[in-house]
Amino acid sequence: MLGLMQDWPLLIHKIIDHAALYYREREVVTRAPEGPIERTNYGEIAVRARQVAAALDKRGIKLGDRVGTLAWNTARHLESWYGIAGIGAVYHTLNPRLFPDQIAWIANDAGDRALFFDVTFAELVAKLAPHLKTVEFYVALTDRAHLPKADIPNLVAYEDFIAGMPRDFAWKEFDEHTACGLCYTSGTTGNPKGALYSHRSNTLLAMIACSTDTLGLSGRDAVLPVVPMFHANAWGIAFAAPMTGAKLVMPGPRLDGASLCALFAEEKVTMTAAVPTVWLGALQYLEQSGKTLPYLKKVLIGGAACPRSMIEIFEKKYGVEVIHSWGMTEMSPLGTLGTLKAKFADLPYEKKLDYKMRQGHPPFGVEMRIVDAENRELPRDGKTMGKLKVRGPAVAKAYFKGEGAAAFDAEGWFDTGDVATLDSDGYMTITDRAKDVIKSGGEWISSIDIENLAVGHPAVAEAAVIGVRHPKWDERPLLIVVVKPGQTASKKDILDHLAGKIATWWMPDEVVFVDAIPHSATGKIQKTALRERFAEFRLPDAAG
């Protein structure tokens, strides 16, 4: 017997319609790439999204067509997402931090028929245009006065593109499983691979993001997603904010500490989200300027492991709750969130920190398990490390065009490529990416644990640990350190700081000091680049 409830498709344009009806005047504030602060609201965004849809429809963009975006977090980018998806086309976010030939490869692979871009990227787009085989026209996300002079064919200013288009254009009708967004992961092994989100998965993602023990976004929040819309759906905030009626503050291109902290204060931001490297900069700025975070209540930190010292500074010094989270492009991206469970409420702060350091527990809608090399499930004892696999309605079941099929097993589990432990309370701890794990004498050493401890040293700005060849142990850890400006630290200082906090056989064999550690286009430490740089490195006792 079937239930008798309505078949109400989960379509993302229903989110912006909901916002327009119930939170019409709730503000969306943008630091525009052209410079000024611009203000609009959900009512206007919904109307202009329909105009984008109408303009694309007029140009012959159809169900399933891909439309690329090369843009910062702005209101126009948001309108474009809803407009593109509202006719059943697919917004395809391109990461401007990739090399131009990578961007061209991805846009060609996706077959983007149009490209929306911010004026910041005009020169980049002019360089890319001759190589973009499928792009028929370009929309600069600006008005005619700021239209770039760069040599870009079939170029139109966004404001001209949507001018005169019907404000009540009807969304197209299609199934909730229809593709909605496309985002390529970095191509650390082989070519980049596309995660293809559906209307249903994005709507479920937004509902997950709104629930209290995840992002816990409320209509009374003012949220500033530092995490870019081109990095895994801005972690769901571009959907969750209009769904709940939260004020949205879009930082545009200026993601430095001073610019972000100014926006936090001016717009009374209560919640924000970004990768740890962004917070390294922001916390340094706060320390130097003596400024505070008077309105901020909560910060979501994920995309790479969040050091213990960072959680402590946010919580103790600035009174801002940290939610450490883990996820991936292939998971839309929410995987686990580190909110504290009720049973830990009365623990002393240091013990609470032990739990907050972990990557968190999965919300309803994410299943996870760890397995060994033969795909046998491993115990949830908080100690055993295994390959982390996931399932859920907002988890990829395949990559775009069937690439990378080996990551998906017959039971529908997706291999995250991460190595983790799971404990009996459901908390997951990432020990490494499988390819970054250090194998010493047949055992695994977690580079993340050592890095986290090293950045807890007051003079250390950033730290990375890689495995280097060792004749006896196969690999041993090498600790690479960037010291904070104006500070000093010796190898002994750093090793003394680690001593007693990790097993002796985990202690790095050597510490090297560098000016900077390279980061990927999504702000993660680029271990591959470090391994190349230190490929010939000889450890002090590895002469034999």
Which residues are tagged catalytic? 185, 330, 439, 444
Name the nearest CA neighbour of 394 among 188, 221, 176.
176
Cα–Cα distance, 241 to 499 (Å, whole number): 45
404 binds ligand ADP (CB under 6 A): no
Q: How far is the CB of 231 from ligand ADP (least distance, A)?
A: 6
User: What is the distance between the alpha carbons of residues 110 and 255, in angstroms, rounded to a whole number?
Assistant: 28
Contact flag: residue 329 with ligand ADP (CB under 6 A): yes
**Bridge-based pairing state of the strands 179-184 and 460-470:** unpaired
Q: What size, in residues, is the chain?
A: 544
With contacts defined by CB under 6 A, name the span among 284-292, 377-385, 410-418, 488-496 that binds ligand ADP. 410-418
| Closest CB to ligand ADP among residues 293, 395 | 395
Q: Which stretch binds ligand ADP (CB under 6 A): 76-84, 150-158, 325-333, 363-371?
A: 325-333
C-alpha dihedral (55, 57, 61, 67), degrees to nearest 10: 40
520 is a contact residue toward ligand ADP (CB under 6 A): yes
Site residues for ligand ADP, 415-444, by CB under 6 A, read: 416-418, 430, 433
Distances (CA, A) of 178 to 12, 186, 353, 475: 11, 24, 42, 47
User: CA-CA distance, 506 to 449, in Å (whole number)?
Assistant: 10
Using CB atoms within 10 Å of the CB of residue 487, give its burial: 0 to 12 exposed, 13 to 18 middle, 19+ buried. exposed
Residue number with CB closer to ligand ADP (140 or 438) = 438
d(CA 13, CA 112): 21
- Distance between CA atoms of 52 and 57, rounded to whole angstroms? 8
| Residue 184: CB minimum distance to ligand ADP, A | 8
* 308 sits near ligand ADP (criterion: CB under 6 A): no
Nearer to ligand ADP, 232 or 463 (CB): 232
Is position 180 an interface residue for ligand ADP (rule: CB under 6 A)?
A: no
The least distance separating ligand ADP from the CB of residue 413, rounded to whole angstroms, comes to 15
Q: Which of residues 381-400 bind ligand ADP (CB under 6 A)?
A: none
Binding test (CB under 6 A) with ligand ADP, winner from 305, 445, 465, 498: 305
Burial of 242 from C-beta contacts in 10 A (0-12 / 13-18 / 19+): buried
Contact call for residue 303 and ligand ADP (CB under 6 A): yes
**Among residues 51 and 431, whose Cβ is nearest to ligand ADP?**
431
Residues in contact with 455: Cβ distance below 8 Å, sequence separation at least 6, in sequence order = 307, 309, 310, 461, 462, 463
Of the candidates 304, 480, 494, 539, which one interacts with ligand ADP according to CB under 6 A? Answer: 304
Site string for ligand ADP, 184-213 (x = CB under 6 A): -xx---------------------------
The two structure tokens encoding residue 164: 């005169």
- 159 and 41 Cβ atoms separated by less than 8 Å: no
Binding status of residue 277 toward ligand ADP by CB under 6 A:
no
Q: Provide, rounded to whole angstroms, the least separation between the CB of residue 491 and ligand ADP.
A: 26
Task: State the nearest-atom distance from the C-beta of 521 to ligand ADP, in Å.
Answer: 7
Give 115 or 310: the residue with its C-beta nearer to ligand ADP.
310
Radius of gyration of the chain (CA): 23
CB of 232 to ligand ADP, least distance (A): 5
For the chain, what is the largest distance between any 2 Cα atoms, rounded to a whole number of angstroms?
76
Query: Rounded to whole angstroms, what are the CA distances from 318 to 283, 294, 496?
Result: 10, 8, 28
Residues ≥6 apart with Cβ < 8 Å to 262: none
Choices 103-111, 328-336, 464-472, 490-498 (CB under 6 A): range interacting with ligand ADP: 328-336
The region of 125-133, 140-148, 219-227, 518-526 touching ligand ADP under the rule CB under 6 A is: 518-526
522 binds ligand ADP (CB under 6 A): yes
How many residues contact ligand ADP, by CB under 6 A? 21
232 binds ligand ADP (CB under 6 A): yes
CB of 324 to ligand ADP, least distance (A): 6
CB of 104 to ligand ADP, least distance (A): 18
Residue from 86, 155, 145, 165 nearest 117 by CA:
155
Can you give the binding site for ligand ADP, defined by CB under 6 A? Answer: 185-186, 232, 302-305, 324, 326, 328-329, 333, 359, 416-418, 430, 433, 520, 522, 524
